[in-house]
Amino acid sequence: MDSGGTGIYVHIPFCRFRCDYCAFITYTDRDHLIDDYVTACVEQMAREVARLDVPADTLYLGGGTPSRLTAEQVAAIVDAASLATGAEVSIECNPEDVSADLLLGYRQAGVTRASFGVQSTATRVLESLGRPESPVSLQFLAHAVGASQLQSWNIDLIYGAEAETSEDFRTSVEAVLALSPVLPHLSAYALTVEAGTPLSRAPDRFPDEDLQADRYEWLTARLEAEGYEFEEISSWALPGHTCRHHQRYWSGGNYLGIGAGAHGHLSGHRYWNTVSPERYISMISNGASAIAGEEFVDGPRQVFETESLLLRTATGVAWEALDHEALAILSERGPLIQRRDDRAVLTVAGRLLANRVILCLKSSR
């Protein structure tokens, strides 16, 4: 878990296409802004890190599609972050963008960890998700990672697309488990319907939650058999490959938010930047703040929010943080939590009902 300190999140809001399920802040028609946008991120970063007492030790480039950036642009962002020695530097990549040269350039720019949005190895599943690209060769990705000598890497999968069969999902999982070098971190997300997306207007493509639960249970058992450790409801890691930046989010830690639409959190002060890349560039280049909104969270609300996040992780919450009588009513079909020393940690059944278990936190009242 996060032991203090500060991380940095940089949002890169540019994509080549828009996936049907995506509600992230990203644009498919603003590539002409990328150079000026990177310059603005570097400028905001320089201002913000100058105020830190101790250098940040995690940097995460998310999106959008950060792999739209060249190695030189990534190097400019990493340099501006003035990171602590041994910092973790992660970048999200669209598999279609990847080459061994690009990953090597990222590694030379200071990147230590890449995360690839594969989602599925089945063409019809990708089509059903509204992703217009064909599946990439996973072994090609693995070779590129190996050649670049990145310290760690992740693959994202999504399950529950309307066209996906259980066999499709199992084939995707077995493909990532068969890679060489071995994949050290996997995230698998249940497809969710976000308001305002094309998927939200297509009820015939909504995911079946019972099927998703079946796939989750199978996946959990399969990953545990391969030595992957439960990290958070949607993430598993081999020992030594947990994502330190995400651990920071999950434990209510501090991080700067750089870029359009980025969120930051510093000791209960939450803020978010303007979502328009044009406006972001203009504000930063004029010496202004890009913050579009903020709130201060403390007291019981802060406790509840932090415990809600921790409950989803392998760290869990203090045993006495839960109302065990309320929990017993939910647990008719078996235990939803297990005790590990003085902590309460979700069982697999509990992970499937996490949103209801969270309401059994005493801090929720």
Smallest separation, CB 146 to ligand SF4 (Å): 24
Q: Looking at this protein, which amino acid is placed at residue 74?
A: V
Number of CB atoms found within 10 A of residue 184's CB = 20
Distance between CA atoms of residues 65 and 59, nearest Å: 16
Smallest separation, CB 22 to ligand SF4 (Å): 3
Distance between CA atoms of residues 63 and 262, nearest Å: 9
Distance between CA atoms of residues 119 and 190, nearest Å: 11
For ligand SF4, the closer of residues 94 and 276 by Cβ is: 94
CA dihedral in degrees (97, 22, 214, 318; nearest 10)? 100
Contacting positions for ligand SF4 (CB under 6 A):
15, 18-19, 22, 24, 26, 63-65, 94, 117
For ligand SF4, the closer of residues 117 and 207 by Cβ is: 117
Smallest separation, CB 158 to ligand SF4 (Å): 9
Smallest separation, CB 115 to ligand SF4 (Å): 11
- Alpha-carbon Rg for the chain in angstroms: 20
Smallest separation, CB 29 to ligand SF4 (Å): 13
For ligand SF4, the closer of residues 115 and 212 by Cβ is: 115
By Cβ distance, which residue is nearest to ligand SF4?
22
For ligand SF4, the closer of residues 24 and 319 by Cβ is: 24
For ligand SF4, the closer of residues 68 and 244 by Cβ is: 68
Angle, helices 277-285 vs 34-49, to 10°: value is 50
Distance between CA atoms of residues 133 and 111, nearest Å: 26
For ligand SF4, the closer of residues 184 and 261 by Cβ is: 261
Smallest separation, CB 13 to ligand SF4 (Å): 8
Angle, helices 71-80 vs 100-109, to 10°: value is 20
Distance between CA atoms of residues 8 and 271, nearest Å: 13
